[in-house]
Amino acid sequence: MLEQWHTGQVTRIINETYNTRRFWIQIPDMDRFDFKPGQFVTLDLPIHEKKNKRWRSYSIASHPNGSNEIELVIVLLEGGAGTTYLFNEVKEGSELLLRGPLGLFVLPETLDRDLFFVCTGTGIAPFRSMAYYIHEHQIPHKNIYLIYGSRYIKDLLYPTEMQQLQAMLPDFYYIPTLSREDANGWDGRKGYVHTIYEEMLSAEKRPAHFFLCGWKAMIDEAKQRILCMGYDRKDIHLELYG
């Protein structure tokens, strides 16, 4: 049975960066919107006659908190019909047709191995949801590494929040890495996400779950490299964007 569609109401919109926006959507016909951290919703946008050309899916960036409101973080894609509509036409008070929650990109039952959350761009959304959920519910866990790839400092989503979470959540490590930043103001990691998890596991291949979320090229390369390190396919969980 397919999930039914609900009419959501946009309650708040803020610009997170120069090309990303955070949208809060309330679903009035539900008392609470229950979902597992990592799941997504599909929006039906009035941008085409054909249904399947109107649908756009976005990971839920907020964590389940018992309310009927969720947050999505969306990047404006050049020439993208869906995001152009969301950025140009949708205002606070607008209605959006959505269904969900959907998807199997969720945490394992027990967090008895290290977790490597590897992402680029808005791929941070499901990991923000998972990390807050682990923190709020004080779920026992091993090390959690959020390895987040962006081009420049200005592209980073939720940086202050992730630093605060690192201070609050034991054994949670926020590791942003920038591939093109030359500015003197950046003393963090430079380069791509792959070198970071490879370095961390080169001395000792310890049991781990790898969650990959972001652009296809990053995910394909990560999958290949993780398998080359001797991990099994079932250690790798992925959510593709674009």
Annotated binding site for FAD: 82-83
Strand order in the sheet with 172-178: 189-190, 172-178, 144-150, 114-120, 208-215, 236-241
Binding-site residue set: 82-83
Query: Which residue matches tokens 């090309």?
Result: 19
In angstroms, rounded to a whole number, what is the distance separating the alpha carbons of residues 13 and 63? 18
Tokens matching residue 145:
């590494």
- What is the amino acid identity at position 127? F
CA angle 160–161–166, rounded 5-degree value: 100
List C-alpha distances in Å: 69 to 85, 95, 192.
Answer: 21, 13, 34
φ, ψ dihedrals at 116, nearest 5°: -110, 110
Residue 150 CB partners (closer than 8 Å, separation 6+): 120, 121, 156, 176, 177, 178, 179
Rounded distance between C-alpha atoms, residue 133 and residue 239, angstroms: 19
Spatial CA neighbour of 128 closest among 15, 236, 66, 37: 37
